[in-house]
A and B are shown apart, each in its own frame.
Chain A
């Protein structure tokens, strides 16, 4: 009787599980299989080729560059979005008259489409664009750059644009975290003679850890899966300078190498999993220990 009651509660999960299986689990498993094949639409048959696609990924300079760019983008955006997000949240958690307006202003870019951001930033980032003109006007000629066409800095520029766009979203999560911290802690710390920095380090940061964990995971997974920012701002160019794993997958499919594209996708899935899960476990432990 008990068992049947327990089973009954699982019946409710079945529809969701079924849909999830059809649209995610089965495609993921078939994708894994196809990443070991030479799948191309212009071939009569699909042949199992073992690790060939993966060997090719690690011997292709462009694919390796794409991996490198993906990691640069992920690291830069994780650091940038979270440091700035915390800073903005702390600043806008203070008693300011304009804090609600400022919160809305900082959050607003994150609701815009990447396409709109691209349309706004592309002319601004030209050699003769607004950003360089402003730099010239304030005497910082040495900082003048070909932001989107210099291969050595293009991925950093795209990361900066992404930070600008999404930092408001991270700020909102940190704000929610900050507001859940009781003011009593700060009052006690003030009585004990702690300064702002000491309060931040000993009270805010530890109690903000759940929010930090969420934001770190979101920005890390988002950073490793980057596609749209690169696609709309540079298309992976100039040349292949800003290719990331996401654009390489698109390129592989465009070239008709569907098996290779699927293999790159599988690799991306593995990389995200290998990095994200241990990090999540580590951060959770820290959270508990605090």
Chain B
């Protein structure tokens, strides 16, 4: 019986193996056929799929709207496959992908952050010679190290300065201050009216960087355009520039003179919209995204933005925060990825995107639509007359969080402005050394 059972079992096993081998063989044949067909189709222009990696927090990006992707696929036979990355892990995941050569064909990321997080020069394609570059109105917002590295149809994202309540200014007969003394005078009048002049939410250390990031860059552009090159090559230190100390002192003076909320290290950015809606505060050093956030809650609020008044006639800070498109050097489908940018840059496609999103166009042949009041003012007063400057963050190629903590420390009384710059010099030097930058 046992022997019989063994024979039966062996028979069944042999049959199963034969069938499965046959199936494998059959499968191989099929896949070979499929592969051959694919190759044949590829030669004759068959469908290619490109990967576009994007943070989950940017999943509403205009670049990944389904109708846009469908139209692109229809016209080029190139399919765009989205890789959604968890927001809090975006930098780490992309760093890992780039490090192990599992690169997507296109990445949506922030230009300033890409320079620090993703090693822009080593990992991304220079786009200077792309056909759409000649039509750009403002190359700067897409550039780093003197080259165009990213793509966007807009030039107005992430403008930073002093967000202010126009109604309070009007009621108190105030005008936009043009230098630091005028700014202090404005603060004094607002304070006298019982309103907190400036809201500083410095529990979030990054918020303490808005003033210096714009002030440093404005000074550099006007007086020493090579400062950041010198700093990034170790020829100069942050503490070598006395004006930087002055700008840090200015921000501290605003606090020390009592022109801010009292508990600045306990208050966080998420309280800002409420503070403006309640008209508890008149101003804040922040980006134009705050105005959008407030307008969403109350369209009748009249907020505006003016340049950080660190020196006479300062430029408005610009940090391209909207999320640009980048092509990794090791993209598997480089040509197709570039075709995607070419497609969005087509006049009609770009015009539709600019219209839908209310962007300030960055293409000479694409018209900027009617903008919200505050945006129109930014355009008229700063962008059109070219009074914008990329903030200091765009020139720093290392992680900036320690700088933010040092700025926060200034307000605990732990460091004076000179101390902040000295400590940042030390940390900056170490971070540059870690990155293997020459001169450190």
Residues of A whose CB lies within 8 Å of any CB of B are: 38, 40-43, 56, 122, 126-128, 146, 148-151, 236-241, 251, 254-257, 260
Contact = CB atoms under 8 A, between A and B. Distances in A.
Given A239-B406, A251-B401, A256 B434 contact: yes
A128 B98 CA distance: 47
Contacts of B265: 146, 148-149, 237-238
B258 interface: no
Contacts of A236: 405
7 contacts: A38-B434, A41-B99, A239-B412, A239-B414, A241-B412, A251-B402, A256-B435
Contact of B401 (A150, A254, A257): A254
Nearest to B409: A239
Q: Which 7 pairs across A and B sit closest by C-beta, in order of nearness? A: A239-B409, A149-B265, A255-B399, A41-B99, A126-B266, A42-B119, A238-B412
A238 B431 CA distance: 21
A42 B263 contact: no
B319 interface: no
B81 interface: no
Prevailing SS type, chain B contact patch: helix
Contacts of A146: 263, 265-266
A151 B410 CA distance: 11
A240 B405 contact: yes
B436 to A, nearest CB: 7
Contacts of B406: 239
Interface of B: 95-96, 98-99, 119, 122, 203, 205, 262-263, 265-266, 398-399, 401-402, 405-406, 408-409, 411-415, 430-431, 434-436
Contacts of A41: 95-96, 98-99
A22 B322 CA distance: 42
Contacts of A257: 434
B264 to A, nearest CB: 9
Contacts of A254: 399, 401
A239 B415 contact: yes
- Most-contacted residue by chain A among B99, B265, B414, B430 (CB, 10 A): B265
A157 to B, nearest CB: 12
Given A122-B266, A237-B205, 20 more contacts: A38-B434, A40-B434, A41-B95, A41-B98, A41-B99, A126-B266, A127-B263, A146-B265, A151-B412, A151-B413, A237-B203, A237-B405, A238-B265, A238-B408, A238-B409, A239-B409, A239-B412, A251-B401, A256-B435, A260-B434
Contacts of B401: 251, 254-255
B399 A256 contact: yes
A43 B436 contact: yes
A42 B99 contact: yes
A42 B266 contact: no
A42 B117 CA distance: 9
Contacts of B98: 41
Contacts of B119: 42
B412 A149 contact: yes
A245 to B, nearest CB: 16
Given A42-B122, A238-B265, A256 B95 contact: yes
Contacts of B435: 40, 42, 256
Nearest to B399: A255
Contacts of B399: 254-256
A127 B261 CA distance: 12
B95 A42 contact: yes
A240 B427 CA distance: 13
A150 B265 CA distance: 9
Contacts of A150: 412
Contacts of B412: 149-151, 238-239, 241
Nearest to B435: A42
Contacts of A237: 203, 205, 265, 405, 408
A139 B115 CA distance: 54
Contact of B263 (A128, A151, A240, A241): A128
A127 B262 contact: yes
Nearest to B411: A238
Nearest to A125: B266
A252 B262 CA distance: 32
Nearest to A151: B412
Given A238-B411, A239-B414, A255 B431 contact: yes
Nearest to B116: A256
Contacts of B122: 42
Nearest to B406: A239
Nearest to A253: B92
B255 to A, nearest CB: 13
A69 B38 CA distance: 62
- Most-contacted residue by chain A among B203, B415, B436 (CB, 10 A): B203
Contacts of B266: 122, 126-127, 146, 148-149
Contacts of A38: 434
A43 B262 CA distance: 45
A237 B264 CA distance: 13
A126 B261 CA distance: 13
Contacts of A239: 405-406, 408-409, 412, 414-415
Nearest to A126: B266
Nearest to B401: A254
A118 to B, nearest CB: 12
B412 to A, nearest CB: 5
A56 B98 CA distance: 28
Contacts of A40: 434-435
Contacts of A148: 265-266
Contacts of B205: 237
Nearest to A42: B119
B263 A126 contact: yes
Contacts of B99: 41-42
- Most-contacted residue by chain B among A146, A151, A256 (CB, 10 A): A256
